[in-house]
Amino acid sequence: MFYAEKLDALAQRLPRFRWTLCLTQPPAGWSAGEHSRITPFLLRAAEAFAAPTFYLVGNGAMIDEAKRLLQERGVDRKRQIRTEAFFK
């Protein structure tokens, strides 16, 4: 997973920064993050934090679905959601 070590180091320096890796199909024995689609994790995070910022990177269809679900739960699209789609 790209930049995992850099993100871990950043989380050590910035107490308000947290990141979680979510894999739909992780390799056998993998235990470094979430074992599911990203959407269930995002919905839990939206409820657990006050005004989090979500950085959604990957498949455009997944990003569209996640944005819709987050907005349905009151997440402000312009202030709290950042995206970078790799493909549609």
Residue 59, strand partner residues? 87
Full residue range of the structural domain in which residue 9 is found: 4-87
Q: What is the pLDDT of residues 18-77, one digit of tens each?
A: 888 888 888 898 888 888 887 888 888 788 888 889 898 888 988 999 999 999 989 999
How many domains, the chain? 1
Q: Is the pTM of this model over 0.75?
A: no
Residue 1: pLDDT over 80: no
In angstroms, the Cα distances linking 65 to 5, 25, 43, 83 are 28, 19, 12, 12
User: Tokens 């789609």 identify what position?
Assistant: 85
Q: How much is the pLDDT for 88? A: 62
